[in-house]
């Protein structure tokens, strides 16, 4: 598989067929999650309706209903006429008080359970990536880790954190793991804003991500898995600590 195809792994999952249940809702979740994670860039034009419907395996009627819902949520804008189409509109992350209220809805046991699931996904992805991915195919992961190093806004840091773990699953060449990561990030991604505000922790996370990449590049699958799991568990522990203050 050539490099640019591997780099587009998360995007291929975004535009792969959705399951048969509640297809409008499934399309809204799929594209909405991708926008919130930054897998689709702000202002990016989506494929035309016929093409996008075909990629997602739904009818154009279903797609139009989903796009209408996304417009109502402020995630997509539509322009008419020449140069028109549907375009990504990156939403602002919730304010700090709204995030804390959302976190209040999670018990510490639920957060730890989510952390266990997340660590299992990321650890498995890192181990598989170390076994399957060529060193030259890690450009996207390296770029995301580098962007996190310089990210100033906490919402950007949160998106980059989540994107790294989605791209790690894509590097494992597992569509199922990638879909699971996208779904998980839609649950926890915004909450990471509550722990990524401090520059010291942002730098620590960036260092952890670079260490995972290094282990993947060296083919050290056991080390890569352990490092990815440790990164996730540390972030989960910080979320639990914030939850205990509420």
CA-CA-CA-CA torsion sign (185, 90, 31, 149): negative
Q: In the prediction, which pLDDT does 185 show?
A: 85
- Flag whether pLDDT at 163 surpasses 60: yes
Q: In the prediction, which pLDDT does 7 show?
A: 54
| Tens-place pLDDT, residues 215-232 | 999 999 999 999 999 999
pLDDT-derived band at 1 (thresholds 50, 70, 90) equals very low
Residue 238 domain-assigned (yes or no): yes
Residue 165 domain-assigned (yes or no): yes
Which domain covers residue 44, as residue numbers? 6-88
pLDDT-derived band at 146 (thresholds 50, 70, 90) equals very high
Q: 171 and 52, same structural domain?
A: no
DSSP type of residue 190: G
- Asked which of 19-28, 75-84, 135-144, 214-223 is least confident by mean pLDDT, the reply is 19-28
Q: 73 and 122, same structural domain?
A: no
Residue 1 domain-assigned (yes or no): no
Q: 100 and 79, same structural domain?
A: no
| Tens-place pLDDT, residues 31-86 | 887 887 777 888 999 999 999 999 999 999 999 999 999 998 888 998 887 878 99
Among 90, 84, 16, 5, smallest CA distance to 45 is for 84
Q: 111 and 172, same structural domain?
A: yes
Q: In the prediction, which pLDDT does 2 show?
A: 46
- Asked which of 16-25, 73-82, 142-151 is least confident by mean pLDDT, the reply is 16-25
| Whether the Cβ atoms of residue 238 and residue 112 lie closer than 8 Å to each other | no
Q: 208 and 107, same structural domain?
A: yes
Q: 116 and 40, same structural domain?
A: no
Q: In the prediction, which pLDDT does 228 show?
A: 98
Q: In the prediction, which pLDDT does 3 show?
A: 47
Crossing angle of helices 23-37 and 154-171, rounded to 10°: 110
Alpha carbon distance, N-terminus to C-terminus of the chain: 48
pTM: 0.73
Q: In the prediction, which pLDDT does 20 show?
A: 57
Q: 184 and 100, same structural domain?
A: yes
Residues of the chain above pLDDT 90, percent: 62
Q: What is the mean pLDDT of the chain?
A: 89
Q: 128 and 41, same structural domain?
A: no
Q: In the prediction, which pLDDT does 212 show?
A: 98
Residue 187 domain-assigned (yes or no): yes
How far apart CA 190 and CA 192 sit, in angstroms, is 5
- Flag whether pLDDT at 18 surpasses 90: no
Q: 203 and 107, same structural domain?
A: yes
CA-CA-CA-CA torsion sign (100, 106, 108, 113): negative
* Residue that is last in its domain, among 40, 66, 88: 88
Residue 120 domain-assigned (yes or no): yes
Domain containing residue 222: CATH number: 1.20.120.530
| Tens-place pLDDT, residues 87-130 | 998 776 666 777 888 899 899 999 999 999 999 999 999 999 99
* Residue that is last in its domain, among 34, 56, 88: 88
- Flag whether pLDDT at 168 surpasses 90: yes
How far apart CA 191 and CA 176 sit, in angstroms, is 24
Q: 138 and 39, same structural domain?
A: no
Q: 222 and 100, same structural domain?
A: yes
Comparison of pLDDT for 152 and 187, the residue scoring more: 152
Domain containing residue 51: CATH number: 1.10.10.10
Residue 209 domain-assigned (yes or no): yes
Q: 103 and 74, same structural domain?
A: no
Question: In total, how many domains does the chain have?
Answer: 2
* Residue that is last in its domain, among 68, 88, 108: 88
């Amino acid at each position: 598989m050539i490099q640019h195809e591997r780099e587009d792994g998360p995007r291929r999952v975004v535009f792969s067929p959705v399951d048969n249940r509640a297809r409008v809702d499934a399309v809204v979740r799929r594209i909405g999650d991708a926008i919130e994670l930054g897998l689709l860039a702000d202002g990016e034009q989506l494929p035309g309706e016929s093409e996008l419907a075909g990629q997602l395996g739904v009818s154009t009627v279903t797609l139009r209903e989903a796009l209408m819902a996304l417009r109502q949520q402020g995630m997509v804008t539509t322009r008419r006429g020449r140069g028109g189409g549907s375009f990504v509109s990156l939403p602002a992350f919730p304010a700090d008080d709204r995030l804390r209220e959302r976190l209040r809805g999670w018990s510490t046991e639920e957060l730890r359970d989510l952390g266990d699931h997340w660590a299992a996904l990321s650890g498995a992805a890192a181990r598989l990536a170390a076994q399957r991915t060529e060193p030259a195919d890690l450009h996207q992961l390296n770029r995301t880790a580098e962007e996190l190093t310089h990210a100033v806004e906490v919402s950007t840091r949160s998106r980059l954190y989540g994107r790294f773990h989605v791209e790690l699953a894509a590097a494992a060449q597992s569509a199922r793991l990638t879909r699971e990561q996208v779904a998980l990030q839609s649950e926890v991604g915004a909450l990471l804003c509550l722990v990524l505000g401090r520059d010291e922790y942002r730098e620590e996370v960036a260092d952890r991500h670079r260490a995972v990449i290094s282990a993947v590049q060296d083919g050290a699958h056991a080390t890569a898995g352990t490092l990815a799991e440790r990164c996730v568990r540390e972030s989960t522990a910080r979320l639990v600590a914030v939850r205990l203050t509420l």
